[in-house]
Amino acid sequence: MKLANKIEAILYLKGQPLSLGEIAGLAGCDRQKAKKALLDLMNDYDSRDSALEVINTPVGYSLQLKSTCEGMLESLIPAELGIASLRTLAAIALKSPLLQTELIELRGSSAYAHVQELVKLGLVRKRRQTDGRSYWLQVTDKFYQYFEIDRFSQSLS
């Protein structure tokens, strides 16, 4: 395997910026060879029509999505959720479908804002109760995909 390909795999698998020394150590080569292979890899990404790029940041070298593609992130991957929103999402997932009034009893009135955020992110679906004033809440397919959960798996006994 070419050194540039090995470094590309290292950057991909690590998923964070790495210093030249770290890359050389993980690739099993000296810093000079790692630097040349990184430059070759950067030139290769620059010359092809790719959504990815290898850049040198103040923290180290990184394989990342080009800035021209960052607009896709919001629609494909939910933003990081806070602990409170994650707890609300967990309650909905465990008791789904769940009445919003029951959720508020469990989590408090701040859960209204969490539900709004979770619906906006596409992780929760909200539908009006037919014989009442509340809403039924349940997780969506996007929830199962994002958290890589098999919706049909049975709970452990």
The tens digit of pLDDT for each residue in 86-115 reads 889 989 998 889 999 999 998 888 899 999
Contact 100, 66 (CB under 8 A): no
Q: Residue 88's CB: how many other CB atoms inside 10 A?
A: 27
CATH class of 3-70: mainly alpha
- SS3 for 66? coil
Residue-level pLDDT at 99: 94
Residue-level pLDDT at 154: 38
d(CA 33, CA 26): 13
The whole-number average pLDDT for the span 16-33 is 94
CATH class of 78-146: mainly alpha
So where are the chain's domains? 3-70, 78-146
52's enclosing H/E stretch is strand 52-56
The reply to whether the predicted model has a pTM over 0.85 is no
Tokens 């950067």 locate to 42
The whole-number average pLDDT for the span 2-19 is 89
User: CA geometry: angle at 14 spanning 18 and 118, to 5°?
Assistant: 115
- Confidence band of 72 (pLDDT split at 50, 70, 90): low
Evaluate whether 3-70 and 78-146 have a shared fold: yes
Closest among 127, 137, 142, 81 to 106, alpha carbons compared? 137
The whole-number average pLDDT for the span 128-155 is 79
